[in-house]
Chains A and B, each alone.
Chain A
Amino acid sequence: MDKPFHRRDLLGIRDLTADQIYGILNSAENFREISSREIKKVPTLRGKTVINLFFEASTRTRTSFELAAKRLSADAVNVSVSTSSVSKGETLIDTALTLDAMNPDCIVVRHPSAGVPHQLAKISRAAVVNAGDGTNEHPTQALLDAMTIRERKKNIEGLRVAIIGDIVHSRVARSNIHLLTKLGATVKVAGPKTLVPEAFEGLVEEGLRVSEHVEDAIEGADVVMILRIQKERQDSAYFPTLSEYAIHYGLTQERLALAKKDAIVLHPGPMNRGIEIASDVADSARSQILDQVKYGVAVRMAVLYLATGGKVESKEA
């Protein structure tokens, strides 16, 4: 279906150029200040409708998108759909078409299957924003991570970033790898070999390395990004136990000491304290975890604004 020309989908970081990424980040900088006001609302998207279509449980991402829409005065509706029924696919297409018929300006979608936002974008008139699709991408997470990094490190270009954990199943890792390498950072990924296949290096043309050990990836890093480890992976023989994972792959103060002295720590949440990240690391001054959440709202305000026809502005404007 043809979309009105002013609507733009955000399906993944992979599709974006460095300029487009900077455009979103710069817009987000402009929106950031709104959330710290007494009256946290501007009329920018008054009269626009945003539907948060979530086929997968999510508290923080859904809340973040909802707040972003409301602070821009858009009408936001949350729709949670269970995918437990056998006929989930019919639900997907039919639900999407039904919602699209109500003429929203933007559909924010999260789904456990990769590619669903791409499929929806083909059939809907509304702009589609990917809020996480299976193990493919989670573009707004990567954008908020980039905003967090820029806040502390100014430039992303030239930085060394370590991403540790369940890389193969992580949409956060994919989006971050695309974003960081497009902006000129060097990314090293590490974790159990079962979860970090060597072929992953082929994900992007340059700037990505699969490290042999977690320590190799962290050594000299400016940013250490820790991914959530899921218990279900233990059941599928990816690793033996969570406690063994914590000992051999978890981010401890000792491992973090290998990074640069001013290295920062990111985690997309929710954290498993004492498993992939030690509590004293999570609570340390290096941890940016709450800032990530804070910037998430600003990034999503920018994304909704741009997806529904807003123009990219430079920070100085």
Chain B
Amino acid sequence: MLLIKNGHLIDPAANENTGMNVLIEDGKVKAWLRHNEDAPEDAEIFDATGMLVAPGFIDLHVHLREPGQEHKETIASGCAAAVAGGWTSVCPMPNTFPINDNAAITRFMIEQAEHAGLANVFPIGAITKVSEGEELAEMGEMKAAGAVAVSDDGRPVPNAGIMRRAMEYARDFDLPVIDHCEDKSLSKGGVMHEGEMSLLLGLKGMPALAEDIDAVRDIHLAKETGAHLHIAHVSTKGAVEAVRRAKAEGIKVTCEVTPHHFSLTDKAVEGYDTNTKMAPPLRSEEHRQAVLEGIRDGTIDAIATDHAPHHEDEKALEYDAAPFGITGLESALGLAFQHLVHGGLIDLEGLVRLCSTSPAAIFGLDGRGTLSPGSHADVTIIDPELKWTFDSTDSKSRNSPYFGNEYRGAAVATIVGGRIVYRRALSNTA
């Protein structure tokens, strides 16, 4: 038994925001007790005085690189980075080698996560075989093996006809269809956001239009098919507005935002640091403001990191040649505090909603995203005032533009299935 004592519990799903002790037994939440209430004497105590106690954070979008690119990340190292960042569950995209387009790979990923014994891993299966955009992958079998959604992520299905069939078919298995919205006929060859900065730096741009058009296409398909569309990492004003309109219309669409899209703009590309290269690219301030407004008004449902580890040698290339993506699991919370919470855009309850309550609901993770008695004992314990420097990582890669930055607010302990799998070392604090 574990008693999380004297913390402040925020559980939006249970409509709770108060001082409360949480008692855990056998991997489940057993009971909530008032601070002065008697607890079983044999319970191990976690003193959470001054801390926020939240249902475990769930990252809807990561790349764990295993199988196939273990020099960048393994499921074990990715899960270590996850729990260090306060994430109790992560959902890896299928762009592994081989692609996660079948039940065997899905099962393998879950087994590797069980071996690691850190975070929960809920794989995302491919929409089409080998993510080639032509034939549907075996969604039913992947779902049975543990997949929670389908996506071709960085290789979005270009053919609207195939995407329509995929959405219709995914409904049979209640699988959300995730799209990385990018019409590659518009973004081909681009390495950063198309705009004044790309013109200034002489780099080929990826227009916001490429995201807008694909998002609108998918929303029409979702309306037609009744499927649950989840738009990955929205980064443009047009995409945020399209989602806002679709929600008002009652279409089943949700979306996520990455910390880098709400914290940085294309101005960061100045100097040609390849750790500013990702897809979708860092946009201009106008788009960043639209994203922030989407977070504020609830159009954006979730924060997801798009954690995309790459080896140092792979990023040490010309800007044109370097791979897209940055790591995100360990910097996300610091950035969310810096740009969203401390600035007053959202409160702590909003943070929990974006990182736990909504992600659990979007992927239908029963018994997660809440700490109500009977649910899984996945807990993120946060010190909103802790000052720390992002100067070390449990990931195998360190491709992040945030390295060396100072933050206020961090996960101090991460509990998965009732076990404390991460405790922030004091030396980590500034």
Residue of A nearest to B321 (CB): A89
Return the CB mask of A49-64 against B: 1 if under 8 Å, else 0. Answer: 0000000000000000
Within the assembled complex, what's the spacing in Å between the Cα atoms of A197 and B199? 9
Of the candidates B202, B203, B318, which one forms a contact with A119 in the assembled complex, judged by CB atoms under 8 Å apart?
A: B318
Given A90-B313, A119-B272, answer yes or no on A114-B319 (Cβ-Cβ < 8 Å).
yes
List the A side residues contacting B318 at CB < 8 Å.
Answer: 88-89, 92, 111, 113, 115-116, 119
Given A88-B321, A89-B316, A92-B317, answer yes or no on A136-B196 (Cβ-Cβ < 8 Å).
no
| Segment of A34-42, A98-106, A152-160, A198-206 engaged in the interface with chain B | A198-206
**B316 and A136 form a contact (CB under 8 A):** no
Within the assembled complex, what's the spacing in Å between the Cα atoms of A92 and B322? 12
**B272 and A203 form a contact (CB under 8 A):** no
Within 8 Å of chain A (Cβ to Cβ): is B320? yes
List the A side residues contacting B322 at CB < 8 Å.
Answer: 89
Within the assembled complex, what's the spacing in Å between the Cα atoms of A133 and B272? 12
Within the assembled complex, what's the spacing in Å between the Cα atoms of A116 and B199? 16
Given A90-B313, A118-B271, A119-B272, answer yes or no on A113-B321 (Cβ-Cβ < 8 Å).
yes
Residue of B nearest to A12 (CB): B202
**B320 and A134 form a contact (CB under 8 A):** yes
Given A113-B319, A114-B319, answer yes or no on A168-B199 (Cβ-Cβ < 8 Å).
yes
Of the candidates B195, B316, B317, B320, which one forms a contact with A114 in the assembled complex, judged by CB atoms under 8 Å apart?
A: B320
**A93 and B316 form a contact (CB under 8 A):** yes
Interface size on A, residues (CB 8 A): 27
A86: min CB distance to chain B, Å? 9
Within 8 Å of chain A (Cβ to Cβ): is B201? yes
Prevailing SS type, chain B contact patch: loop
Residue of B nearest to A114 (CB): B202
Within the assembled complex, what's the spacing in Å between the Cα atoms of A115 and B198? 12
Given A89-B317, A113-B319, A116-B318, answer yes or no on A171-B272 (Cβ-Cβ < 8 Å).
no
Of the candidates B196, B203, B313, B316, which one forms a contact with A115 in the assembled complex, judged by CB atoms under 8 Å apart?
A: B203
Within the assembled complex, what's the spacing in Å between the Cα atoms of A93 and B196? 28
Within the assembled complex, what's the spacing in Å between the Cα atoms of A162 and B189? 29
**A174 and B202 form a contact (CB under 8 A):** yes
**A203 and B201 form a contact (CB under 8 A):** no
Within 8 Å of chain B (Cβ to Cβ): is A276? no
Residue of B nearest to A117 (CB): B272
Return the CB mask of B244-285 against A: 1 if under 8 Å, else 0. Answer: 000000000000000000000000000110000000000000
**B321 and A115 form a contact (CB under 8 A):** no
Within the assembled complex, what's the spacing in Å between the Cα atoms of A93 and B317? 7
**B201 and A202 form a contact (CB under 8 A):** no
List the B side residues contacting A115 at CB < 8 Å.
Answer: 201-203, 272, 318-319
Within 8 Å of chain B (Cβ to Cβ): is A166? no
List the A side residues contacting B425 at CB < 8 Å.
Answer: none
Within the assembled complex, what's the spacing in Å between the Cα atoms of A171 and B203? 11
**B195 and A133 form a contact (CB under 8 A):** no
Most buried by B among A14, A114, A174: A114
Most buried by B among A89, A134, A136, A171: A89
List the B side residues contacting A137 at CB < 8 Å.
Answer: 202
Within 8 Å of chain B (Cβ to Cβ): is A272? no
List the A side residues contacting B203 at CB < 8 Å.
Answer: 114-115, 134-136
Of the candidates B196, B271, B316, B321, which one forms a contact with A199 in the assembled complex, judged by CB atoms under 8 Å apart?
A: B196
A17: min CB distance to chain B, Å? 18
Residue of B nearest to A93 (CB): B316
B314: min CB distance to chain A, Å? 8
A250: min CB distance to chain B, Å? 24
Return the CB mask of A74-101 against B: 1 if under 8 Å, else 0. Answer: 0000000000000011101100000000
**A114 and B272 form a contact (CB under 8 A):** yes
Within 8 Å of chain A (Cβ to Cβ): is B426? no
Residue of B nearest to A137 (CB): B202
Return the CB mask of A187-203 against B: 1 if under 8 Å, else 0. Answer: 00000000001011011
Residue of B nearest to A200 (CB): B199
A97: min CB distance to chain B, Å? 10
List the B side residues contacting A111 at CB < 8 Å.
Answer: 318
Return the CB mask of B198-232 against A: 1 if under 8 Å, else 0. Answer: 01111110000000000000000000000000000
Within the assembled complex, what's the spacing in Å between the Cα atoms of A113 and B3? 57
List the B side residues contacting A118 at CB < 8 Å.
Answer: 271-272
List the B side residues contacting A92 at CB < 8 Å.
Answer: 317-318
**A113 and B199 form a contact (CB under 8 A):** no
List the A side residues contacting B320 at CB < 8 Å.
Answer: 112-114, 134
Within the assembled complex, what's the spacing in Å between the Cα atoms of A197 and B207? 13
List the A side residues contacting B317 at CB < 8 Å.
Answer: 88-90, 92-93
List the A side residues contacting B195 at CB < 8 Å.
Answer: 199
List the B side residues contacting A168 at CB < 8 Å.
Answer: 199
B266: min CB distance to chain A, Å? 12
B209: min CB distance to chain A, Å? 13
Within the assembled complex, what's the spacing in Å between the Cα atoms of A171 and B202? 7
List the B side residues contacting A88 at CB < 8 Å.
Answer: 317-318, 321
Within the assembled complex, what's the spacing in Å between the Cα atoms of A174 and B201? 9
Within the assembled complex, what's the spacing in Å between the Cα atoms of A64 and B201? 25
A103: min CB distance to chain B, Å? 22
B210: min CB distance to chain A, Å? 16
Most buried by A among B199, B272, B313, B318: B318
Residue of A nearest to B202 (CB): A136
Return the CB mask of B142-185 against A: 1 if under 8 Å, else 0. Answer: 00000000000000000000000000000000000000000000
B79: min CB distance to chain A, Å? 30
List the A side residues contacting B321 at CB < 8 Å.
Answer: 88-89, 113
Residue of A nearest to B272 (CB): A115
Within the assembled complex, what's the spacing in Å between the Cα atoms of A202 and B321? 27
Most buried by A among B202, B316, B321: B202
List the B side residues contacting A114 at CB < 8 Å.
Answer: 201-203, 272, 319-320
Within the assembled complex, what's the spacing in Å between the Cα atoms of A203 and B195? 10
Within the assembled complex, what's the spacing in Å between the Cα atoms of A14 and B199? 13
A174: min CB distance to chain B, Å? 6
Q: 4 shortest A-B CB distances, which residue pairs?
A: A89-B317, A136-B202, A115-B272, A113-B318
Interface residues of chain B, those whose CB is within 8 Å of chain A, are 195-196, 199-204, 271-272, 313, 316-322
Known: A93-B316, A118-B271. 8 other contacts (CB 8 A): A92-B317, A113-B318, A113-B320, A115-B203, A115-B318, A135-B202, A135-B203, A137-B202
- CB<8 Å pairs between A and B, sample of 9: A88-B317, A88-B318, A113-B318, A113-B320, A114-B202, A115-B203, A135-B202, A174-B202, A202-B199
